[in-house]
Homo-oligomer: A and B are copies of this chain.
């Protein structure tokens, strides 16, 4: 133990937190253990004590973030039984998008590796991606059967479109800030994006007021 204040993190946690940030920003190849150690304010030689290697540290980040994702998405699991299929989709999708807004690092890291198709990807795929995707595609197909999602789109494509649509905008946060002056991480923007996803994927049965075009293009508040 380093401190008893409860405010400070121990070295292991500091390293994990810093590693999430650095791997999420520059990817595995772009990250150096010295950079991570610096951010964590830890001597770089000490990393080896807590994590056997750079790769071990990376795996710990993945496990940590997927754990958080699991918790976030399942936080209302107890209420699912009393929900309609449509309400369940809305519940899960909303939490999923909010998670990605709060921890964009997970999908950044996964995207890095998905593109890279490195040896790490096998581990990532076997332990997290495949289970996640398989369940998700099955759920999409089920939602289609239940009339929640459009039926005339292959479930596989709809799933990948859905994931991309819900996550990708947060990867482009810096670009959106620079080019459009919008902070996509702002709570109101996150909810706006959730609403956009629902309107596109779930349709809007009841007629809604159609907002002014300029407001839609560059929303304020």
Contacts and interface: CB of A to CB of B under 8 A. Distances in A.
Contact of A179 (B134, B196, B197, B217): B134
A88 interface: no
Given A152-B204, A152-B211, A216 B141 contact: yes
A212 to B, nearest CB: 11
A160 B169 contact: yes
B196 A172 contact: no
Contact of A27 (B115, B165, B180): B115
B27 A217 contact: no
Nearest to A163: B168
Contacts of A25: 115-117
A80 interface: no
B196 A161 contact: yes
A197 to B, nearest CB: 7
Question: Is the contact region of chain A dominated by helix, strand, or loop, or is it mixed?
Answer: helix
Contacts of A115: 24-25, 27, 108, 111-112, 171
Contacts of A179: 125, 129-130, 133-134
Nearest to A217: B155
Interface centre among A114, A161, A176, A178 (most CB of B within 10 A): A161
Given A29-B29, A154-B219, A168 B164 contact: yes
A145 B213 contact: yes
Interface string A93-134: 000000000000000100110111110010001000110011
A49 B171 CA distance: 36
5 contacts: A151-B216, A152-B199, A158-B200, A164-B169, A200-B200
